[in-house]
A = this chain, B = another copy of it.
Amino acid sequence: MAETPTLFRKVLIANRGEIAVRIIRACRELGLRTVAVYSDVDRNAMHVRHATEAYHIGPPPPRESYLRIDKILDVAKRSGADAIHPGYGFLAERPDFAQACLDEGIAFIGPTPEAIAAMGDKVVARRTVQEAGVPVVPGTDVMLRDDELEAEASRIGYPLLIKAAAGGGGKGMRRVDRPEDFEGALHSARREAEAAFGDGSVYLEKLIEGGRHIEIQILADTHGNVIYLGERECSIQRRHQKLLEESPSPFVNEALRRRMGEVALQAARAVNYCNAGTIEFLVDRDRNFYFLEMNTRLQVEHPVTEFVTNLDIVKEQIRIARGRKLSRTQDEIEIKGAAIECRINAEDPYNNFLPSTGTITAMTLPTGPGVRVDTGVTAGDQITPYYDPLISKLICWGDTRGEALLRMRRALSEYKIMGLKTNIPFHQNLLDSARFIGGQYDTTFVEERFSMGGGREFRPEIAAIIATLVAHEERRKAAQIVRRDGRDGQVSKWKLAGRWEQMWR
């Protein structure tokens, strides 16, 4: 089925931060013009500066700007953008947005509205893929009343998870260990899901202990070609938020990779999937794997896959949206070396990962061989409380996992961010942890077996010396100012004006 290629020249990026910059870079390398949108607090942001054009779309809260389909389509029309890339988050998994783009004759760089919808409802998704022969975690696949759910719970067995049908990010999710706790957990999960997604529907899943969160990246074009690009290990999480990802997983061998890949393709084909997507699996200690959900968009952690496959996933997305064939076949996909990504967040790892906001006053980026930084900020930029705390992603490649780990340690020690707290010390501790180095971790690792103490070398006495020397120097300089302007108590206004004239003229 050869379709007419869709030509487009100008891409609107309906997002902000590092992913908007990432997409703008891909577009520029393809000779496409780019349109950025920004809220009040993002006027100075890097994505605005890197785009060909930029348009203001409203106040900081996402509901009033980045989630406003009408405003974004209006900018697309005013700027003459003929394609939209949604990035991740915000409108990326909203079938109505994808549909609205198509209705306006604007290419949506992502899957069809139907595929987004089919995978967006977790219960429908489970049922759909199960029918296609994909293994799912034992649980409930239809909408049930509370009493029916309680009966099902006994059938499935404890411990189990209550999950929101519209869910994501751990919201509306409850672990239940005993039958007597079921009713209370059910009600609170429904309330949370209702508050978060406007939909209180929940379903049950057997809790698989010691499981790992491993996902398969797939690409599908409009010519019926679907390929998988190996896996990403995402078990380093805290409160269901991924903190570090790697590819390949130290837990996955070639045989398992192939089996998971094939199953991922089945899941994608079950919804006639097109463009880039990710199938998340839970893998138990015996290497049984179960479909969790499909993310119908670009993932935050796509760079680790790019590093080990040498494929630019964002460019492939654009290629697919233009109606062209994938640039590679499954046989041409080879996993080379190992890549690790650290999410650099504005949060304090020593204080319960409390979010930290403010202006980045200074920043030194790590560079050199095997190091990639996908950043959305530079010195002078602000981290506001309105959006997620992701400052940047530091990705390192190595010929082996060991080399990638050592390189990441080196890069982390070069990366300096001043003005707010970051989780860089968390990553440094993690990379010193014997269990992590040994690949011995599951999704409970960070919360249950990891502490910030670690065996890292602290040098408080050096910090003391440096601060003293800086203070001493400042004191000396200030003494000179008092001295110079001193005794007579006057600074000539001519002198001030004169200095300034010299500077600006």
Chain A residues within 8 Å of B, Cβ to Cβ? 21-22, 25-26, 28-31, 50, 303, 306, 310-312, 327, 336-337, 364-365, 367-375, 378, 399, 403, 406-407, 409-410, 413-414, 471, 474-475, 478, 481-482, 485-486, 489-493, 496-497, 500-501, 503-504
Contacts and interface: CB of A to CB of B under 8 A. Distances in A.
Contact of A367 (B306, B373, B485, B486): B373
A303 to B, nearest CB: 7
A330 B66 CA distance: 53
Closest 6 CB pairs of A and B: A478-B500, A491-B491, A367-B373, A474-B504, A29-B406, A28-B410
B369 A369 contact: no
A311 B491 contact: no
A496 B471 contact: no
Contacts of A481: 496-497, 500
Contacts of A312: 369-370, 399, 403
Contacts of A410: 25, 28-29
A372 B378 contact: no
A478 B499 CA distance: 10
30 contacts: A22-B368, A28-B406, A29-B403, A29-B407, A29-B409, A30-B406, A31-B406, A310-B336, A310-B337, A312-B369, A312-B370, A327-B399, A364-B378, A365-B367, A369-B372, A369-B374, A471-B504, A474-B500, A478-B497, A478-B500, A478-B501, A478-B504, A481-B500, A482-B496, A482-B497, A485-B493, A486-B493, A489-B490, A489-B493, A490-B491
Contacts of A471: 504
Contact of A368 (B31, B311, B372, B503): B372
A501 B481 CA distance: 12
Nearest to A368: B25
Contacts of A478: 497, 500-501, 504
A365 B22 CA distance: 15
A500 B473 CA distance: 12
A501 to B, nearest CB: 8
A393 to B, nearest CB: 10
A27 to B, nearest CB: 10
Contact of A493 (B365, B368, B474, B482): B482
A367 B368 CA distance: 11
